[in-house]
């Protein structure tokens, strides 16, 4: 009995290791010391790695466009709503990819300047401020997308979407 339990545990651990390796195989190797492979890949792909950027909008009933599209049938979105919200989601994804590449390039520059010890206080101020601008532009795009999506949905659609997202 003990032997079969130990065998089962070994198999489960092995399967878990394989699954972790498979998930990691989709990650691109980060070329930036300050970004993990997961962060680097997400920035390149336009994935949302900063979950709280949309929080002010979402907690005040302005949903993300991709969530509205995901539940379009349940919400009863009109064809016009689907077209407009899909365009918002597409533009947001484009902006995430654009800002992701800018964030990566800026991090690479900071790393290179510090590594080569070729920087001044002005360089640090410039690139640190630039980082803030890129993150701010990304957050602005996310919040604008939420605002636009919320404006396209009826109050009952927003309420239904919130219920579908949080069934508690």
The domains of the chain are located at: 29-165
Question: What is the average pLDDT across 17-46?
Answer: 75
Q: CA nearest 43: which of 106, 127, 86, 133?
A: 106
Phi-psi region of 64 (alpha: psi -120 to 50; beta: other; left: phi over 0): beta
**Percentage of the chain surpassing pLDDT 70?**
85
User: Residue 35 to residues 49, 100, 111: CA-CA distances in angstroms?
Assistant: 12, 11, 11
Chain segment 124-148, per-residue pLDDT in tens? 999 999 999 999 999 999 999 999 9
Q: Which residues contact 36 (CB under 8 A, 6 or more apart)?
A: 30
Q: Are 94 and 45 in contact (CB under 8 A)?
A: no
Q: CA nearest 69: which of 88, 41, 45?
A: 88
State the chain's mean pLDDT as an integer: 86
Dist CA 47 CA 164 (whole Å): 22
Dist CA 26 CA 37 (whole Å): 10
Dist CA 86 CA 94 (whole Å): 12
Using the predicted structure, report yes or no on whether residue 15 has a pLDDT greater than 80: no
More confident position, 10 or 115: 115
């Amino acid at each position: 009995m003990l032997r079969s339990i130990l065998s089962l545990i070994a198999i489960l651990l092995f399967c878990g290791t394989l699954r972790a390796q498979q998930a990691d195989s989709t990650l691109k190797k980060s070329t930036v010391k300050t970004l993990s492979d997961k962060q680097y890949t997400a920035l390149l792909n336009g994935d949302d790695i900063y979950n709280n950027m949309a929080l002010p909008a979402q907690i005040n009933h302005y949903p993300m466009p991709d969530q509205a599209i995901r539940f379009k049938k349940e919400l009863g979105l009109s064809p016009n709503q689907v077209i407009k919200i899909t365009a918002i989601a597409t533009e947001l994804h484009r902006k995430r990819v654009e800002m992701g590449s800018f964030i990566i390039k800026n991090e690479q520059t900071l790393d290179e300047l510090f590594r080569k010890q070729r920087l001044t206080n002005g360089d640090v101020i410039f690139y640190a401020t630039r980082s803030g601008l890129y993150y701010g532009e990304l957050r602005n795009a996310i919040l604008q997308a939420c605002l636009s999506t919320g404006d396209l949905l009826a109050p009952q659609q927003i309420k239904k979407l919130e219920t579908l997202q949080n069934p508690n």
